[in-house]
Amino acid sequence: MILVLRDITDRLKTEQDLRAAQDELVRLAHTDYLTGIHNRRFFMQRLSEEVERVRRHGSQLSVLLFDLDYFKNVNDQCGHVAGDQILKAVADVSMEVKRVTDIAARIGGEEFALLLPETDQTGAVSTAQRLRQSIAGISLPQTREKNVNVTASIGVATVSAVSQDLENVLNHADEALYKAKHSGRNAVCCADISAST
């Protein structure tokens, strides 16, 4: 009888390190580098999954699309460092306002989105108003003479299994966002999504 013993500690450690590196790559691929919240790619993936869930189970889904009003002025007058601080603060506020099941993401530039599964229009508007007020409350000290403040315009779109054009809920939220911009900014507007007959 021959007994052979091998120490595989190094191999196991290498495998664990490899798994950790792969997990980190996945996290980085789904995370916005500046704000630390999800990026557009992850948001679109989850939106697609949630739309399919609405279609199968007959639930509801809301999307909030929002961007910062006159944000270019912040960058022009206060510099990009202040602009980056504002974007990070908006991401933090988004994370505070959302529920655990909601997805917050930076879509690009100063545009953000919240994916609200199982949420009707009333609940989505309530969340949007809390978010709008919280963003308006952000104040970063830029200089001794003035603080940097921002507001946001928010578009809300809610769909259910009977909604026409279910797949284009983000486009509907975008149209509602432009309505909010044209209504004077620092506002919440809802998309009018008709139901199929």
Catalytic amino acids?
110
**Could you write out the DSSP letters of every residue in 143-155?**
SSS-EEE--EEEE
Q: What is the strand order of the sheet 103-108 is part of? A: 38-39, 103-108, 111-117, 60-68, 152-160, 188-190
Cβ atoms 188, 161 nearer than 8 A: no
d(C-alpha 132, C-alpha 122), whole Å: 15
Residue 185 sits at φ, ψ, to 5 deg, of: 70, 175
- Bridge partner list, 147: 141
Distance CA 140, CA 138 (A): 7
- Beta bridge mates, 104: 114
Positions of E strands within the chain = 38-39, 60-68, 103-108, 111-117, 139-141, 147-149, 152-160, 188-190
Sign of the Cα torsion 110, 111, 114, 120 reads positive
